[in-house]
Structure 1
Amino acid sequence: MTLTRRAALLAAPLAALSLSGAQAQAPFPSSTVRIIVPYTPGGASDIAARLLAEKLTPVWKQSVVVENRTGANGIVGSDAVAKAAPDGTTLGFVSVNHAVNAALYTTPFDTLKDFSVLSIIYSVPLVVVTAPDFPANSIQDLVKLVKSKPGEITFASTGGAVHLAAEMFAGQVGAAMTNVPYRGSTAAHPDLIGRRVDVMFDTLPAVVGHVQAGKLKALGTTAAQRLPMLPDLPTVAESGLPGFEAATWGAIIAPAGLPAPIANKIATDAVAQLQESSIKERFAALGATPVGSTPEQAQAFVRAELEKWQKVVTAAKIEKQ
């Protein structure tokens, strides 16, 4: 089931979680809860974690604090979560990099065995963008261009899904593209607009302003369905590459071994906040779609994401670091 469909079915997992949460007898929490965000402040993961912390503090009647612990593309902060006591007082809020890192790097933890994934909180799709005068006006045009000039078409990347989505596209097209790495979207966009790099698979909130201003041209979205913000923009899947889907996402994690009653309570209470109008409004401003899932669904989703990105890394012959 895709993240988009899960968002539409939010009420179902919430009802299931509420039942299991009601059955939990563990007195949780009995002290301050810390949410480690392994990325710099101001990003989608950080904002979402702080929104949830604010909402959960009165629900849990305990302080819920956010701690940014950065380094190594999120590995440092995630490792701190993995090594914490599995009692629910130390949580993490991770992005798609949590799955991508397992494919790209040798980590000090096992991404599947050393964490309990409690809920997928949101999804943010990617948009395929080019300069307005780039000689492709659709995904079909881009496919033809990449095939006619293997290795010559360049794509800007900032790591994570932004990089691997382009690699996945090239793999499905059957012709290589050349990666041009940047430290962030703000560094890549001037070169993209100026035609010094050809194409980019970037997050919706990062590019939608440039698209609406006519500075960038959108060819398609990597979401499973068309985006409400850009309803006329087709998906890559419907443009000739069926099954193509890529997104960034945010998830709550905990150390492995977290007792099921506590895991279910955290997930139940977190998912309930996604129905708050203030949360919906802030997520909409981020270009994010609320999801909400049970721990079982979340764990299965991360496993599938890891497997997907591992296949992309292997096919692209990217050496693990």
Structure 2
Amino acid sequence: MTITRRGALALPLLMPALAQAQRFTAQRPVRMVVPYTPGGVSDITARLIADPLSATWSQPVAVENRAGADGIIGTEVVARSAPDGHTLSLVSVGHPVNAAFYRLPYDTMADFTFLSLTTRTPLVLCAARGFEAGTPAELVALAKRRGAGAVTFAGTGGVVRLAPVLFGSLTGTELTYVPYRGSTQAHPDLIAGRVDIMFDTVPAALPHIQSGALKAMATTGAARSPQLPDVPTMAEALLPGFEASTWGMVMGPGNMNEDLASAQSRDVAAALRMPAVVERHRVLGAEIVSSTPAETRDFVRAEMTKWGETARRAGIEPQALR
């Protein structure tokens, strides 16, 4: 083999990246840890991109559900793994939000390499069909008229728990939190009027909105939801700049090689752009998004600050895991 002078000069620059790629392309499966139960958006996204990533990387990508403790158990597995690209995770907004609720066994920022966002799903402020308020402004007026804490909201943890707190702090209202294990447990009480409002994900609330059992007052994304095009965003209706969404993200252990992280980020973005992947998420009410490692890290840091401050305003302090 003949090496040109230009090739010889470039070789030292290429060697670290080639060495890293060589280690990664050894015939070992890639684990995509989903720290939640099967069937959620994070799990569905992981399974949809696993096949195209497997084809791109010429090795199997196996999705592994490691649920428990609001995603902390599976996330810790990733934090303790080798940063060689063979262990990745697809997490949600719960990753930065968990730092506001728990004393974690890992550092939310330092122990991970953030590769790319995957999806964004807005929430919808909804209430029973007969609830007195029909818009965010009417809700604020009602809450002030009834008095502090008289309006109740259903919450299931994470951003669904904190979005009403953010709403209350920005509107000068105090709402009372009623905890539920999940949307399916909260919806009967919401529909019956036993709890007043809920900031739920659009996919979870949509069937009840379409049936007329619930009414939608506003969505919380940067733009209107394609599933609810006639419903204004919270920014349009009352609070400019208000945004509260669930989202997905691929990350790996901390200290991954920068070239490897960038390459895997690009491959994830390419898998997300496949028509079948885009269409499946459209049906779910989730918008496909992607980002560079640097953009992803900045986004996670901003989310951690935003929801951490919101939790502190509500008097929420990180608790030890049980």
- TM-score, scaled to structure 2: 0.91
Counterpart amino acid of 2:265? A
| SS of equivalent to 1:112 | coil
Structure 1 residue 29 corresponds to structure 2 residue 29: no
Cross-structure match for 2:195: 197
| SS of equivalent to 1:225 | coil
| SS of equivalent to 2:103 | coil
User: For each residue in 1:136-168, what CA deviation from the matched residue of structure 2 results, as whole angstroms up to 9, or x when unmatched?
Assistant: 111111111122222010000110110001111
User: For each residue in 1:265-309, what CA deviation from the matched residue of structure 2 results, as whole angstroms up to 9, or x when unmatched?
Assistant: 111111011221100111112110000110000000000000000
| SS of equivalent to 2:46 | helix
Partners of 1:148 and 1:245 in 2: CA distance = 26
| SS of equivalent to 2:285 | coil
Cross-structure match for 2:53: 56
Structure 2 segments unaligned to the other structure (5+ residues): 1-15
Query: In the alignment, which of 42, 47, 51 is matched to residue 44 of structure 2?
Result: 47
1:39 touches 1:74 (CA, 8 Å); kept in 2?
Answer: yes
Cross-structure match for 2:108: 111
User: For each residue in 1:5-61, what CA deviation from the matched residue of structure 2 results, as whole angstroms up to 9, or x when unmatched?
Assistant: xxxxxxxxxxxxxxxxxx953233322100111000111111111111122111111
After superposition, residues 6-17 of structure 1 pair within 5 angstroms as none
Cross-structure match for 1:172: 170
Structure with the bigger RCO (C-alpha within 8 Å, sep 6+) is: 1
Partners of 2:38 and 2:272 in 1: CA distance = 21
| SS of equivalent to 1:280 | helix
User: For each residue in 1:85-105, what CA deviation from the matched residue of structure 2 results, as whole angstroms up to 9, or x when unmatched?
Assistant: 000100011000001001111
Partners of 1:70 and 1:106 in 2: CA distance = 18
Structure 1 residue 91 corresponds to structure 2 residue 88: yes
Partners of 1:120 and 1:24 in 2: CA distance = 24
- TM-score, scaled to structure 1: 0.91
Counterpart amino acid of 1:40? T
User: For each residue in 1:60-109, what CA deviation from the matched residue of structure 2 results, as whole angstroms up to 9, or x when unmatched?
Assistant: 11000011111110111111100000001000110000010011110011
Structure 1 residue 128 corresponds to structure 2 residue 148: no
After superposition, residues 248-263 of structure 1 pair within 5 angstroms as 248-263=246-261
Partners of 2:257 and 2:151 in 1: CA distance = 50
Counterpart amino acid of 1:49? A
Question: Which protein is bigger by CA-based radius of gyration?
Answer: 2
State the superposition RMSD in angstroms. Answer: 1.1
Aligned residues: 299
| SS of equivalent to 2:280 | helix
Identity across matched positions, percent? 51
After superposition, residues 1-321 of structure 1 pair within 5 angstroms as 24-25=17-18, 26-27=21-22, 28-30=24-26, 31-149=28-146, 150-321=148-319
Counterpart amino acid of 1:189? H
User: For each residue in 1:152-188, what CA deviation from the matched residue of structure 2 results, as whole angstroms up to 9, or x when unmatched?
Assistant: 1000011011000111111111121010111110010
Counterpart amino acid of 2:222? A
Partners of 1:124 and 1:96 in 2: CA distance = 10
Partners of 1:29 and 1:98 in 2: CA distance = 28
